[in-house]
Chain A
């Protein structure tokens, strides 16, 4: 290992501000700190620092995403040939999902690098998460060039134009997905896109629930052969990472136990979903809309809500950043998901839009919380 160290040490001076490759310093910093913990020492108080850093934090998110990714690979293969053996299914799944992930990482990574060099900032580990999140929200069958176009849009417009990581208003992976969704709707909706093999096509549970006016959405799902247990395990059509609530639950546990994701957002999201769905259930008998019948549990187990809430709504940058704000933000997303699903039956999946709307309001929610804090302080002062 010391050989690598000595190579890096020999190259290092060229990337220093006086070196001939000074422009590419972010690249060197990236490679150098991937292999070795940085040599920086504290220069002022506090003289000691916690072992946590951005790499560790983001690596934890990747670990939380692994169950979802692995299950997604299996499920993609399984849906393509339920009768074939597990080995074939995994091979097929890998063959479909890995290219998505690689294209997302490589194309997005090039943009990230380009902006880091031009704008002279470090390469941010947050991209590792964005680059993995996008493929997990896509149908497995999507053409690779669309992934490339999507991640480019997400990284450049969703993140870099507003100042890069930490300054983005919207979750870049969601921006990328929204771009693909609106630019190439035929590849992102309908029943055919969710399976690799066309003859295996099956409608997603959410599409089933909204398929017949005047019916009960819960019945429709049951008739289509989707039991709650199946929905929980996730061997059903859907986006690569979004189907298995069991895998998502594992990821959620990792995020919550490590406190990387804020539990208030998740709790708020669930609460908002339950309240809105209960409200919808009350209204169901008076309308023809089948989605109104869906119980909170059905809402939770179908579609991408669980995935979005756990991995995308909790993005600390684009979410609200105050504790009280996080509750409001989460509840808003939970309620919006139900509302969009009910009102917009053409594109019954509402999570993406709900979270993007939540992102848009996050800053305003924080502003309100901030003013409250200020007003409270002033009242406390007046009393003294």
Chain B
């Protein structure tokens, strides 16, 4: 099969890349559930403070889709349920048991999975709490179990800064990964597209009978699922649903069916300049960032991000790792004000543009901080934005139509194919410092409500 080559984009050379050295994080004492990890969720609690839960037993569900359960990633006691303004559920904390108990699901062997009924697979995913790993485009929300997709995507070539290597993510879970793909294909009856890097020769991906394998090549965002969908099965309209699942979550689905237990661990990469230890960690779902960074406290003021620096969310150390996040990035929170900075040659400035000498030498490890590096100005179309967006989308106009709240034009310009994460590099390179990702997010939210 041919290789799809992406030319536009940029691989951020961020300092503090995690070494490929996998360590196990000891079992945390407490884990948290953050309902805000799930876009559009309307949670209703099923347990109360003081209740005991097993790993895999339901904690809350989604009022919009009552079948979709959210389950505990550890067994223990619910110690606190925190609600914010207007009683919005903010955080549920579980005090983890010393000897964990797992809720038992039916075990299957590899060959049975292909003969399970689609509804059996679906119900098992819904009740085990694994359903939320399946998200859908447009809108990047948890998949609607009642409406089948036209295709399922598994983006298995992460290109985001610090993203963990795909082979290390799945090491030792090859069988589970294959089983998960089989279950997804069986459940949806639609093609499952697995996208890997053009140079990936791992046997892991060669023997997967039931899927369509695609190869991409190019700089970030070539690994983003939105780019894959755009090139393979573009989203035509609102009801044109595509589902996508991260590779580790595919392995968790497989693990659920093979072992009869909810798999509760994932491999993440931890990196960033202010950290001493930059490595891979196998962690529990719901683990707090401070536990991940235990003994590895950032030097100096720093921002801790759950996810990559381009699309992740800044969080407090006491907050848990995001449900979908596979990276913890730490960057210096530096607000030094350079004298006449715009006039200096800037040999150490990081820029995708050719306006700094560093742009010509190839940037090895420029240090990037949380600085905006400029002030907000009106949009001047220098072409920076277009140079990092590998989609047949005209970003300048899409942005204008979103700001004008013109739903008709937004649809025509292809907003359903868009996701904030695919536009993160656009925000990064914009000389007028517009929050382009946020604008795309606003546009999608507006059209989701009013479209």
Does chain B have a CB within 8 A of A41? Answer: yes
Q: For the complex, what is the distance from the CA of A166 to the CA of B309, rounded to whole Å? A: 29
* B-side interface residues, number (CB < 8 Å): 73
**Quick one: which of B358-373 are within 8 Å of A by CB?**
368-373
Q: Of the 9-residue stretches B106-114, B200-208, B341-349, which lies at the interface with chain A?
A: B341-349
**Quick one: which of B393-451 are within 8 Å of A by CB?**
394, 396-397, 412-414, 420, 424-425, 427-433, 435, 437-438
Q: Is there an interface contact between A47 and B431, defined as CB atoms closer than 8 Å?
A: no
Does chain A have a CB within 8 A of B165? Answer: no
Interface string of B326-353 (1 = CB under 8 A from A): 0001010101011111110010011111
With A51-B350, A323-B386, A377-B392 already in contact, the answer to whether A57 and B431 are too (CB < 8 A) is yes
Q: Is there an interface contact between A53 and B380, defined as CB atoms closer than 8 Å?
A: no
Interface string of B370-383 (1 = CB under 8 A from A): 11111111111111
In the complex, which residue of chain A has the Cβ closest to the Cβ of B310? A46
Interface string of A1-41 (1 = CB under 8 A from B): 10001000000000000000000000001000111111111
With A46-B437, A47-B370, A321-B396 already in contact, the answer to whether A38 and B350 are too (CB < 8 A) is no
**Contact residues in A for B368 (Cβ distance below 8 Å):** 48-49
Q: Of the 9-residue stretches A228-236, A252-260, A302-310, which lies at the interface with chain B?
A: A252-260
**Quick one: which of A282-317 are within 8 Å of B by CB?**
316-317
**Contact residues in B for A60 (Cβ distance below 8 Å):** 355
Q: Is there an interface contact between B313 and A124, defined as CB atoms closer than 8 Å?
A: no
Q: Is there an interface contact between B375 and A35, defined as CB atoms closer than 8 Å?
A: no
Q: Is there an interface contact between B375 and A40, defined as CB atoms closer than 8 Å?
A: yes
**Contact residues in B for A39 (Cβ distance below 8 Å):** 335, 337, 371
In the complex, which residue of chain B has the Cβ closest to the Cβ of A319? B381
Does chain A have a CB within 8 A of B14? Answer: yes
**Contact residues in B for A125 (Cβ distance below 8 Å):** 377
**Contact residues in A for B392 (Cβ distance below 8 Å):** 373, 376-377
Does chain A have a CB within 8 A of B356? Answer: yes
Q: Is there an interface contact between A384 and B370, defined as CB atoms closer than 8 Å?
A: no
Q: Is there an interface contact between B309 and A47, defined as CB atoms closer than 8 Å?
A: yes
Q: Is there an interface contact between A49 and B373, defined as CB atoms closer than 8 Å?
A: yes
> Which one of A41, A54, A59, A121 contacts B370 once the chains associate, using CB atoms below 8 Å?
A41
Q: Is there an interface contact between A45 and B424, defined as CB atoms closer than 8 Å?
A: yes
Q: For the complex, what is the distance from the CA of A38 to the CA of B374, rounded to whole Å? A: 6
Does chain B have a CB within 8 A of A182? Answer: no
Does chain A have a CB within 8 A of B314? Answer: yes
Q: Is there an interface contact between A316 and B234, defined as CB atoms closer than 8 Å?
A: no
Q: Is there an interface contact between B338 and A52, defined as CB atoms closer than 8 Å?
A: no
In the complex, which residue of chain A has the Cβ closest to the Cβ of B377? A54
With A42-B370, A165-B380, A316-B380 already in contact, the answer to whether A48 and B354 are too (CB < 8 A) is no
Does chain B have a CB within 8 A of A217? Answer: no
In the complex, which residue of chain A has the Cβ closest to the Cβ of B424? A46
CB distance from B266 to the nearest CB of A (A): 21
Q: Is there an interface contact between A54 and B311, defined as CB atoms closer than 8 Å?
A: no
Q: Is there an interface contact between B374 and A52, defined as CB atoms closer than 8 Å?
A: yes
**Contact residues in A for B309 (Cβ distance below 8 Å):** 45-48
**Contact residues in A for B427 (Cβ distance below 8 Å):** 45-46, 49
CB distance from A280 to the nearest CB of B (A): 32
In the complex, which residue of chain B has the Cβ closest to the Cβ of A123? B377
Q: For the complex, what is the distance from the CA of A259 to the CA of B342, rounded to whole Å? A: 17
- Which size class do A's interface residues fall under? 35 or more
Q: Is there an interface contact between A167 and B378, defined as CB atoms closer than 8 Å?
A: yes
**Quick one: which of A258-294 are within 8 Å of B by CB?**
258-260, 262
> Which one of A55, A126, A259 contacts B383 once the chains associate, using CB atoms below 8 Å?
A259
Q: Is there an interface contact between B428 and A37, defined as CB atoms closer than 8 Å?
A: no
Q: For the complex, what is the distance from the CA of A35 to the CA of B339, rounded to whole Å? A: 6
With A57-B355, A60-B355, A370-B394 already in contact, the answer to whether A45 and B420 are too (CB < 8 A) is yes
- Residue of A37, A262, A316, A370 with most chain B CB atoms under a 10 A cut-off: A37
Q: For the complex, what is the distance from the CA of A323 to the CA of B389, rounded to whole Å? A: 14
Q: For the complex, what is the distance from the CA of A323 to the CA of B386, rounded to whole Å? A: 9
Q: Is there an interface contact between A48 and B380, defined as CB atoms closer than 8 Å?
A: no
Does chain B have a CB within 8 A of A122? Answer: yes
**Contact residues in B for A381 (Cβ distance below 8 Å):** 234, 236-237
Q: Is there an interface contact between B370 and A36, defined as CB atoms closer than 8 Å?
A: no
Q: Is there an interface contact between A46 and B428, defined as CB atoms closer than 8 Å?
A: yes
Q: For the complex, what is the distance from the CA of A222 to the CA of B382, rounded to whole Å? A: 40
CB distance from A350 to the nearest CB of B (A): 26
Does chain A have a CB within 8 A of B278? Answer: no
Q: For the complex, what is the distance from the CA of A4 to the CA of B260, rounded to whole Å? A: 68
Q: Is there an interface contact between A45 and B313, defined as CB atoms closer than 8 Å?
A: yes
> Which one of A38, A124, A257 contacts B378 once the chains associate, using CB atoms below 8 Å?
A124
Does chain B have a CB within 8 A of A50? Answer: yes
Q: For the complex, what is the distance from the CA of A53 to the CA of B380, rounded to whole Å? A: 11
Does chain A have a CB within 8 A of B79? Answer: no
**Contact residues in A for B384 (Cβ distance below 8 Å):** 50, 52
In the complex, which residue of chain A has the Cβ closest to the Cβ of B351? A51
Does chain A have a CB within 8 A of B258? Answer: no
Q: Is there an interface contact between A37 and B338, defined as CB atoms closer than 8 Å?
A: yes
Does chain B have a CB within 8 A of A358? Answer: no
Does chain A have a CB within 8 A of B218? Answer: no
**Contact residues in A for B343 (Cβ distance below 8 Å):** 59
**Contact residues in B for A258 (Cβ distance below 8 Å):** 353-355
Interface string of B305-322 (1 = CB under 8 A from A): 101011111100000000
CB distance from B441 to the nearest CB of A (A): 9
**Quick one: which of A347-370 are within 8 Å of B by CB?**
369-370
**Contact residues in B for A377 (Cβ distance below 8 Å):** 234, 392, 412, 414
With A37-B337, A39-B337, A374-B413 already in contact, the answer to whether A49 and B371 are too (CB < 8 A) is yes
In the complex, which residue of chain A has the Cβ closest to the Cβ of B358? A51
> Which one of A45, A52, A376 contacts B437 once the chains associate, using CB atoms below 8 Å?
A45
**Contact residues in B for A166 (Cβ distance below 8 Å):** 377-380, 432
CB distance from A121 to the nearest CB of B (A): 8
**Contact residues in A for B414 (Cβ distance below 8 Å):** 377
Does chain B have a CB within 8 A of A118? Answer: no
> Can you offer 6 A-B residue contacts whose CB atoms are under 8 A?
A45-B311, A46-B437, A47-B310, A51-B356, A258-B354, A321-B396
| Seed contacts A41-B335, A53-B431, A126-B380; 11 additional CB < 8 Å A-B pairs | A36-B340, A37-B341, A38-B372, A39-B335, A40-B375, A45-B427, A47-B305, A49-B374, A51-B346, A55-B342, A377-B414
A contact residues vs B (CB 8 Å cutoff): 1, 5, 29, 33-42, 44-57, 59-60, 121-122, 124-126, 164-167, 257-260, 262, 316-317, 321-323, 369-370, 373-374, 376-377, 380-381, 384
